[in-house]
Amino acid sequence: MNAFIKETAGEGFSAKDFRTWNATVLAAMAVARHDERDQTTKAARKRVITDAVKETAKYLNNTPAVCRASYIDPRVFDCFASGETIAGRLKRIEGRTGDDEFADRERIEAAVLDLLR
């Protein structure tokens, strides 16, 4: 797989880059889906982050500790701590999605990119 990725995307890329990006997007979605009331205290924000890491780790089939340390971009949680998430955009994207459809991953990823800039 890595040989294909290097051939297609260039020498500086590997499967870990895609896994890291996927984890970052999943974590950004997880914190965005929490009710704003979950963000009122430091302890509540910590619980939201813990839940997001656990959820992301489950998707990656890894431990929460490894997932947080190696895959999720910490800026997602820095933004969350300062009150910034992709919640508004995520709601609009998911609102345009039918019950039997997947949400537009490209738009979700664009929202995460904007968050991290």
The structural domains of the chain, with segments of one domain joined by +, span 2-116
Instruction: Give the separation between CA 86 and CA 94, rounded to whole angstroms.
Output: 12
Per-residue confidence (pLDDT) for residue 7, from 0 to 100:
87
- Per-residue pLDDT 10s for the chain (117 aa) are 888 988 888 888 898 999 999 999 999 999 999 877 767 888 999 999 999 999 999 999 999 999 999 999 999 999 999 999 999 999 999 888 877 788 799 999 999 999 999
Going by C-alpha positions, the residue among 61, 3, 52 that lies closest to residue 32 is 52
CATH fold for domain 2-116:
Topoisomerase I; Chain A, domain 4 (1.10.132)
Instruction: Give the separation between CA 3 and CA 51, rounded to whole angstroms.
Output: 34
Q: What pTM was computed for the model?
A: 0.89
Per-residue confidence (pLDDT) for residue 70, from 0 to 100:
96
